[in-house]
Structure 1
Amino acid sequence: MSIRLILGAVDNLRGIAVRTPMLTSAALNEQLGRTVWVKAENQQLTGSFKLRGAYNALALMDAETRSRGVVGASSGNHAAALALAAHRLEVPVTVVVPENLPSVKRQAIEDLGARIVPYGRLAGRRDALVHEIADRGGLTIVPSANDEQVIAGAGTVGWEMLQEHPDLTALVVPVGGGGLAAGTALAASAHNPGPRVFGAEPATADDTHRSLQAGRRISIAPPRTIADGLGHTEPARIPFHINQRLLAGVVTVPEGAISEAMAHLWRLFRLVAEPSGAVAFAGLLHALGRLPDGPVGVVVSGGNVDWNTYKTQVDTAMTRWETPLHAAAVLH
């Protein structure tokens, strides 16, 4: 892959995806001793960055392929993005989602007219089910990460960040399948001087961290984490090879740090982040000493979260605090 694919995605998404804001907080900057810019992809259409990759992939399909329909699997955000992209381009779409998908995500998908097929998250048959549906109906699979055009669309997040703030010395992004990290790393690699790009993932779902250490893709048991969008058992093949070459490292964060990050994002920026969307901010606070000096960009990748889940996580985090910005969170 090259930067040309990302620049092509920038053109394809013009007028389709929202150019989301980058926010900063004087209180946070003073506490950390550096400037932090937060890319608010929770304000993207469908509530996450995923629209960028889904729409780019569908827009580049030929008309005959699109007319037969598409299918994709997701913990929720890719499914909603695929549903919206398909709706805009008048493409029949089926999405395979977990049985326990948060209701806010399921409702968004249903409202866009997608056909929903549930699966048991712990059964490990998601990919096989997707292939069965594709083979039976002649549908084209649109992966959430393992596709060059999906990665290129995700890479427009990093491209926008560096267009607005070319002095960023580091970018921190969440890692699930690895598409956003790979696209961001590709965008950064074309920038001179390029910032170092760090991934962040839950400590209980550390498949990418383990895989990078091993030098090959490692499969883990289905993880249990509040960051349901990052609960992968293995990094996707195409993003992994890019991340293996370009990522500066992956920070793993405990579950408590994720809920604290959600609370910080609300208190400092008035941003509602789902647990997966807050993981990169948790990574920033958890591994500040690993980042180079200078301004840092952090991606808040999504905000699709049930109210009860959100309130529980934020209330739990706030009961542990003694100061507005919990000191322990920034001194790891």
Structure 2
Amino acid sequence: MLTLADILEARERVRETSRHTPLEHSHTYSSMTDADVRLKLENFQRTGAFKIRGATNRIATLSRAEKDAGVVTASAGNHAQGVALAATRSGVDSKIVMPEHAPISKVKATKNYGAEVVLSGCDYNEAADRAHEIEREEGRTYVHAFDDEDIMAGQGTIGLEILEDCPDVETVVVPIGGGGLISGIATAIKERRPETRVVGVQAEGASSAASSLEKGERISLDGVDTIADGIATRRVGEHTFPYIQEYVDEVVTVSDSEIAVTLVYLLERSKTLVEGAGAVPLAATLFESFEYEADETIVPVLSGGNIDLNQLTNVVVRGLVETGRYLKIRTVLKDRPGALEDLLDIFTAHRANIYAIHHDRTSREVEMSDTEVEIELEMRGPDHVDAFLSDLREAGYAVDILA
């Protein structure tokens, strides 16, 4: 069983490879919640995420023969980079199997950390099957992403840092995918300060831990669907689940819309880039997914910042839509001179800034005497959007909201 002593030993093993990441009070989020919110910025960690801690500890515990044989794992992101760097720093050969369509930026980063990358399979499960084949064929040690107590112990060093930097912390909020991160952190927190509450957070579209706790046994989801790809797992780990049952006080969920809004807040107000999985603890705090008192000291763990730039663009737009900052509409005008100008007079009156406009006379969805118009707009918030749409409809325009 994982103990505090294991985590203390892990801290010594990972000290030279991982960073003691900042724990910063946020005036912005404290004002928004009336709590004392302090962000654990694990997105500032080496490789951009917490995974380097567990990977370093696991590789440090290998026997000499296992190190000589090398390691293998499957991952499309943070774990791949963590294992690659930890193995290289320990002089261990590493082979990482990544899905064929893994983002090129993550493939390059993993190679740059010294690993041999094998592209195989259309998704993580198929990549993992190939990695286990390599494990058997080459006698390598498989380094699991979360379901391993040495991995958990490494991640638990985050809990030690939180208690050192904020000894009176009342609530720690942690994302849950397979459960390795929260198992380690919760063990460290509860064994040193049992009165501190540990809250786990999952995306609504990947809520295996929440469902498993309700049933009292691990359940496997038929599928997952969330922008928080770092925690998009169908089932929590066999080894992690007992620690979640023992040490985690509550598991809650957040929606993709709430995650997107939180990512926008972090970028705009904190100047901090965080991936979807790293944003869920703050999202749960801002959107009150769990109950807390005024002035309660809350530490959301922002677990990583490795977000694909293409996904970032989509997420930011989604966040702007949810906060009433971006609006895309469609309406139909009479195909005559001045019709568009009349419409734009309403835009001017509301000071709605146009990003783009598409004027289509050929659409089969409108009469031949009409023309379809799609317009993307910069808005100033929900009240601004409501007033603008109300005036459009009062003027006789049938408006479809596209985003």
TM-score, scaled relative to structure 2? 0.77
Distance, in Å, in 2 between the alignment partners of 1:316 and 1:115 is 36
Residue number in structure 2 paired with 1:330: none
- Asked if the contact 2:203–2:228 (Cα under 8 Å) also holds between the matched residues in 1, the reply is yes
Distance, in Å, in 1 between the alignment partners of 2:288 and 2:22 is 24
Q: Which amino acid aligns with 2:303?
A: S
Say which SS state the counterpart of residue 290 (structure 1) adopts: coil
Residue number in structure 1 paired with 2:291: 290
- Asked if the contact 1:202–1:254 (Cα under 8 Å) also holds between the matched residues in 2, the reply is yes
Distance, in Å, in 2 between the alignment partners of 1:307 and 1:279 is 19
Offset, 1:127: 3.8
Deviation string, structure 1 residues 262-282 (Cα, Å, up to 9, x no partner): 111122321100111112211
Q: List aligned pairs for 1:103-114, cutoff 5 A.
A: 103-114=104-115
2:148 corresponds to 1:147: yes
Distance, in Å, in 2 between the alignment partners of 1:224 and 1:128 is 22
Give % identity. Answer: 34
Offset, 1:159: 1.1
Deviation string, structure 1 residues 150-187 (Cα, Å, up to 9, x no partner): 10000011110111101111111111110001011101
2:36 corresponds to 1:35: yes
TM-score, scaled relative to structure 1? 0.92
Distance, in Å, in 2 between the alignment partners of 1:266 and 1:143 is 32
Distance, in Å, in 2 between the alignment partners of 1:91 and 1:17 is 17
Distance, in Å, in 1 between the alignment partners of 2:116 and 2:292 is 43
CA distance 1:67–1:202, shift in 2 (3 Å): same
The structure having more radius of gyration, on CA atoms, is 2
2:57 corresponds to 1:56: yes
Residue number in structure 2 paired with 1:224: 225
Offset, 1:222: 3.1
Residue number in structure 1 paired with 2:245: 244
- Asked if the contact 1:171–1:296 (Cα under 8 Å) also holds between the matched residues in 2, the reply is yes
2:316 corresponds to 1:311: no
Say which SS state the counterpart of residue 237 (structure 1) adopts: coil
- Asked if the contact 1:251–1:287 (Cα under 8 Å) also holds between the matched residues in 2, the reply is no
CA distance 1:177–1:296, shift in 2 (3 Å): same
Distance, in Å, in 2 between the alignment partners of 1:82 and 1:101 is 17
Distance, in Å, in 1 between the alignment partners of 2:199 and 2:76 is 23
**Larger helix percent:** 1
**Larger strand percent:** 2
Offset, 1:317: 0.7
> What is the CA RMSD across the aligned residues, in angstroms?
1.9
Offset, 1:320: 2.9
- Asked if the contact 2:160–2:189 (Cα under 8 Å) also holds between the matched residues in 1, the reply is yes
2:318 corresponds to 1:321: no
- Asked if the contact 2:284–2:290 (Cα under 8 Å) also holds between the matched residues in 1, the reply is no
Offset, 1:100: 2.8
Offset, 1:254: 1.0
- Asked if the contact 1:171–1:198 (Cα under 8 Å) also holds between the matched residues in 2, the reply is yes
Q: List aligned pairs for 1:1-332, cutoff 5 A.
A: 1-120=2-121, 124-291=125-292, 294-321=296-323
Structure 1, 24-33 or 239-248: larger mean CA deviation:
24-33
User: More relative contact order in 1 or in 2 (CA 8 Å, sep 6+)?
Assistant: 1
Matched residue count: 325
Offset, 1:289: 4.4
